[in-house]
């Protein structure tokens, strides 16, 4: 397993380039090695919004979000970048609370309450648009772990449908089965709106953790084979989810909070270790918070490895909807893998991080 020691000792290439003031790049031989690994092994981005499908058909937005939505969606470009970079599959996420969000400080927050039926209507619009992606024969629907490898064999990009925010559930455990029938295989119970299921990490608590309705939804996700993603949940809510779930969970895009570096979207070391102890995976998040390039992102990956072990780290790019992204294009994927190999990861360890660990959680959720 990679340790802090070989992380420091194996960084010669990236350190020299950083000293020259350049965006770090691995050398040609490492890129070729990374590309061979990517070709041989499946990859799964644990959290993404490729091409921003969630903006299609959105309405009643705050002015700042309306301007954002008017820039449009670009799925074709994102999918082409996935193919260029060799990314096997990603969780393509709808954003359940998009229409009630607004800018707040350095991030987002809910600016108003949902109108009756609004959350469900928005979900149905977004899922319809996501399902339309499968009209393109280059995009394969991922309903089970084996579909990722099948899509790879067919040289197609895999799309696993997810929903960021359980607002559309409206507290109903029965609606989880309906989402499953729609093709959804991953749900974040919380996003930026405190809903019937629990509290979010970026606002003061309302429920004091996971609610009874939230626990029922978690049980329904277990029963239906839907992965649970605790990203954006408050610590107490996330611990409640861990207690309620009989299966491993994801925290798809985050990092670990420290006394010297606290950010509202980061989680405690204790929570990270508990997720790992339950067999789950933490997705390394390439947001430009204390980092400014791909070297910084790889630093984050190794920090997570040191904290929870190589079997419990994945990649959660938040692609095309990230906060100050340092990884903003899937075509950079071989560069990231090459940098990991340069830092001392074995090919087997790198294969776990780029997809193997996430696929293990997907398999457990599907069982």
CA distance 8 to 15: 10
Q: Say if residues 49 and 74 touch (Cβ distance below 8 Å).
A: no
Q: Say if residues 145 and 42 touch (Cβ distance below 8 Å).
A: no
Provide the pLDDT for residue 20: 38
Q: Say if residues 241 and 354 touch (Cβ distance below 8 Å).
A: no
Burial of 143 (0-12, 13-18, 19+ CB in 10 A): middle
Question: What's the pLDDT tens digit per position in 345-359?
Answer: 999 999 999 999 999
If you write DSSP's letter for every residue of 136-154 in order, what string do you get? STTEEE-SSHHHHHHHHHT
Question: What's the pLDDT tens digit per position in 219-265?
Answer: 999 999 999 999 999 999 999 999 999 999 999 999 999 988 889 99
3-state helix, strand, coil in the chain (%, to 5): 45, 15, 35
The DSSP element (H or E) to which 38 belongs, if any, is helix 28-40
Q: Which two tokens stand for residue 227?
A: 């992965």
Range of the domain at 176: 4-366
If you write DSSP's letter for every residue of 294-312 in order, what string do you get? HHHHHHHHHHHHHHH-GGG
Strand partners, 102: 109
CATH, residue 147: 3.20.20.140
Please give the radius of gyration of the chain, using alpha carbons only, rounded to the nearest integer. Answer: 19
Provide the pLDDT for residue 25: 57
Token pair 């950079």 in the structure block, residue: 332
Greatest alpha-carbon span in the chain: 57
Q: Which two tokens stand for residue 97?
A: 């609370």
CA distance 357 to 349: 10
Q: Which two tokens stand for residue 289?
A: 């918070």
The DSSP element (H or E) to which 17 belongs, if any, is helix 12-19
**Total number of domains constituting the chain:** 1
Is residue 136 predicted with pLDDT exceeding 90?
A: no
Provide the pLDDT for residue 260: 85
Average pLDDT over residues 161-182: 98
Q: How do beta strands 227-228 and 89-95 pair?
A: unpaired
pLDDT band for position 1 (50/70/90)? very low
Q: Say if residues 332 and 294 touch (Cβ distance below 8 Å).
A: yes
Provide the pLDDT for residue 149: 97
pTM of the prediction? 0.93
Q: Say if residues 104 and 127 touch (Cβ distance below 8 Å).
A: no
């Amino acid at each position: 397993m990679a340790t802090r020691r070989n992380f420091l000792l194996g960084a010669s290439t990236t350190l020299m380039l950083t000293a020259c003031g350049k965006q770090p790049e691995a050398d040609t031989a490492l890129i070729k090695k990374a590309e061979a690994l990517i070709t041989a092994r499946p990859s799964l981005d644990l959290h993404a919004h490729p091409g921003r499908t969630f903006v299609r058909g959105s309405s009643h937005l705050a002015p700042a979000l309306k301007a954002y939505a008017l820039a449009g969606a670009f799925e074709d470009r994102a999918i082409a970048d996935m193919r260029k970079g060799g990314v096997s599959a990603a969780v393509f996420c709808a954003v359940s609370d998009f229409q009630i969000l607004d800018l707040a400080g350095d991030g987002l927050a809910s600016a108003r309450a949902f109108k009756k039926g609004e959350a469900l209507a928005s979900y149905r619009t977004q899922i319809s648009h996501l399902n339309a992606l499968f009209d393109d024969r280059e995009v394969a629907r991922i309903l089970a772990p084996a579909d990722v490898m099948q899509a790879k064999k067919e040289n197609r990009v895999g799309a696993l449908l997810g929903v960021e925010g359980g607002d559309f559930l409206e507290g109903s455990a029965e609606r989880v089965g309906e989402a499953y029938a729609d093709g959804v295989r991953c749900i974040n119970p919380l996003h930026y709106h405190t809903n019937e299921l629990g509290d979010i990490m970026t606002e003061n608590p309302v429920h004091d953790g996971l609610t009874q309705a939230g626990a029922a939804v978690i049980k329904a996700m277990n029963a239906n084979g839907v992965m649970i993603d605790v990203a954006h949940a408050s610590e107490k809510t996330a611990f409640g989810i861990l207690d309620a779930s009989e299966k491993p969970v994801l925290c798809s895009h985050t990092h670990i909070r420290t006394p010297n570096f606290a950010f509202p979207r980061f989680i405690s070391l204790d929570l990270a270790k508990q997720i790992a102890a339950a067999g789950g995976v933490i997705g390394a998040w390439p947001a430009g918070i204390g980092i400014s390039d791909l070297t910084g992102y790889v630093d984050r990956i190794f920090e997570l490895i040191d904290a929870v072990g190589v079997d419990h780290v994945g990649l959660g790019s938040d692609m095309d909807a990230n906060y100050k992204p340092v990884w903003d294009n899937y075509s950079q994927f071989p560069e990231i893998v090459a940098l990991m190999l340069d830092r001392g990861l074995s090919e087997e360890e790198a294969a776990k991080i780029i997809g193997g660990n996430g696929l293990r959680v997907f398999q457990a959720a599907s069982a």
